[in-house]
Chains A and B, each alone.
Chain A
Amino acid sequence: MDNGLLVLGLIPLVGALFVAILGATNASDETAKRTAFGISLIELVVTIVICAKFHATGQVFQSTTSVKWISQFGVHFSLGADGIALVLIALTSVLTPVVLLASWHDASGGRRSVATFFALVLSLQALLVGVFSATDVFLFYVFFEAMLIPMYFLIGSYGGPQRQYAAVKFLLYSLFGGLLMLAAVIGLYVVARNQGHATFDFATLTTLHISKTTQDWLFLGFATAFAVKAPLVPFHTWLPDAGAEAPTGGAVLLVGVLDKVGTFGFLRYCIPLFPDASKTFAPWILGLAVAGILYGALVAIGQRDMKRLVSYTSVAHFGFIALGIFAMTSQGGAGAVLYMVNHGLATGALFLAVGIIVGRTGNRDVNAYGGLAKVAPLLAGAFFISGLASLALPGTNSFVSEFLTLLGTFTRYRIASILATVGIILAALYVLWAYQRVAQGPVRGLSEKVKDLSTREVWVMAPVLALVVVLGVYPKPLLDVITPSVNRTLQQVHRTDPAPTASAGDVGAPASLPDYAPGTSPFLPGGDGRTPHLDVAIGAFK
Chain B
Amino acid sequence: MYTHATGAFHATWLLVALPLVGAAISLIGGKRLDKVGHIVGTAAALASFVVAVVLFFSLKSKAGIGRQQDDHLFSWVPVNGFKVDASLLLDQLSSVFTLLITGVGSLIHIYSIGYMEHDAGRRRFFGYLNLFLASMLLLVLADGYLLLYVGWEGVGLASYLLIAFWYDRPSAATAAKKAFIMNRVGDVGLSLAIMMMFATLGTTSFSGVFGAAAHLNHAQVTGIGLLLLLGACGKSGQFPLQTWLPDAMEGPTPVSALIHAATMVTAGVYLIARSSPIFDLSQDARTGVTLVGCITLLYGCLCGTSYDDIKKVLAYSTVSQIGYMFLAVGLGPAGYAIGIMHLLAHGFFKAGLFLGAGSVMHGMGDRVDMRTYGGLAKVMPYTYVTFLLGYLAIIGFPGLSGFFTKDKIIEASFDKGGTSGYIYGIAALLGAGLTAFYMTRLMCMTFWGKRRWEPTDHPHDPPKSMVGPMVLLAFGSVFAGGLFVLGGSLQHWLEPVVGKSVEEGAHTISPGVLTALTLVVVAGGVGSAWLYFGRRSIPRLAPVAVSPFTFAARRALLADALNETVIATPGTWLMRAATWADSRGIDHAVNGIAAGVGGLSGRLRRVQTGFVRSYALSIVGGTALTLLLLLVIRAG
Chain A residues near B (Cβ < 8 Å): 70, 72-73, 142, 145-146, 149, 152-153, 156, 164-165, 168-169, 171-172, 175, 179, 182, 186, 189-190, 193, 198, 234, 237, 295, 298-299, 301-303, 330-331, 334-335, 371, 373-374, 388, 393-395, 399-400, 403-404, 406-407, 410-411, 414, 417-418, 421-422, 424-425, 428-429, 432-433, 436, 439-443, 473-476, 479-480, 483, 487, 497-504, 506-515
Contacts and interface: CB of A to CB of B under 8 A. Distances in A.
Contacts of B618: 175
Contacts of A388: 157
A194 to B, nearest CB: 10
Contact of B168 (A330, A371, A407, A504): A371
27 contacts: A73-B627, A73-B630, A153-B612, A168-B611, A169-B604, A182-B622, A190-B633, A295-B578, A298-B578, A299-B578, A301-B579, A334-B79, A394-B154, A395-B153, A410-B199, A421-B188, A433-B177, A441-B170, A443-B168, A473-B76, A479-B78, A483-B78, A500-B198, A500-B201, A500-B202, A506-B215, A511-B218
Q: How big is the B interface, by class?
A: 35 or more
B8 interface: no
Contacts of A439: 167
A73 B195 contact: no
Contacts of B47: none
Interface in B137-158: 146, 149-150, 152-154, 157
A483 B80 contact: yes
Interface of B: 74-82, 146, 149-150, 152-154, 157, 160, 164, 167-170, 173-174, 176-177, 180-181, 184-185, 187-188, 191-192, 194-196, 198-203, 212, 214-220, 223, 574-576, 578-579, 582, 586-587, 590, 594, 600, 604-605, 607-608, 611-612, 615-616, 618-619, 622-623, 626-627, 629-631, 633-634
A199 to B, nearest CB: 12
Closest 6 CB pairs of A and B: A302-B579, A500-B202, A511-B219, A440-B173, A394-B150, A410-B195
A440 B195 contact: no
Candidate in A153, A407, A429 with the most chain B CB atoms within 10 angstroms: A407
Contacts of B630: 72-73, 186, 189
Given A302-B576, A404-B79, A497-B81, A234 B586 contact: yes
A445 to B, nearest CB: 14
Given A439-B167, A509-B217, A512-B217, A152 B579 contact: no
A21 B564 CA distance: 62
A149 B191 CA distance: 42
Nearest to B605: A165
A522 to B, nearest CB: 14
Nearest to B198: A407
B174 A407 contact: no
B200 A479 contact: no
Contacts of B173: 436, 440-441
Candidate in B195, B223, B604, B634 with the most chain A CB atoms within 10 angstroms: B195
A403 B622 CA distance: 42
B607 A168 contact: yes
A441 B152 CA distance: 27
A421 B622 contact: no
A164 B590 CA distance: 17
Contacts of A506: 215, 217
Given A424-B187, A509-B217, A432 B79 contact: no
A186 B201 CA distance: 46
A351 B375 CA distance: 56
A479 B195 contact: no
B201 A407 contact: no
A301 B582 CA distance: 12
A330 B202 CA distance: 13
B188 A425 contact: yes
A165 B606 CA distance: 8
Given A145-B619, A303-B579, A331 B80 contact: yes
B289 to A, nearest CB: 20
A179 B217 CA distance: 52
A207 B191 CA distance: 39
A299 B191 contact: no
Given A172-B600, A500-B201, A421 B192 contact: yes
Contacts of B201: 500, 502
Contact of B219 (A164, A410, A514): A514
Given A172-B600, A198-B634, A483-B78, 8 more contacts: A186-B626, A237-B590, A436-B173, A441-B170, A442-B170, A479-B78, A502-B220, A503-B215
A231 B576 CA distance: 22
Candidate in A334, A429, A440, A515 with the most chain B CB atoms within 10 angstroms: A440
A371 B164 CA distance: 12
A106 B600 CA distance: 31
Nearest to B204: A407
Contact of B199 (A72, A172, A299, A498): A498
A182 B628 CA distance: 13
A424 B184 contact: yes
B77 A513 contact: no
Given A425-B181, A428-B180, A403 B199 contact: no
Nearest to A302: B579
A428 B168 contact: no
Nearest to B618: A175
B607 A436 contact: no
A411 B199 contact: yes
Contacts of A436: 173-174, 177
A394 B149 contact: yes
A474 B86 CA distance: 10
B215 A418 contact: no
Contacts of A156: 612
Contacts of A70: 627
A197 to B, nearest CB: 13
B187 to A, nearest CB: 7
A165 B603 CA distance: 10
Contacts of B604: 164-165, 168-169, 172
Contacts of A473: 76
Nearest to A233: B586
B79 A331 contact: yes
A69 to B, nearest CB: 12
B184 A428 contact: yes
B202 A487 contact: no
A166 B605 CA distance: 9
Nearest to A185: B626
A417 B195 contact: yes
Contact of B575 (A302, A414, A501): A302
A490 to B, nearest CB: 10
Contact of A507 (B82, B214, B578, B615): B214
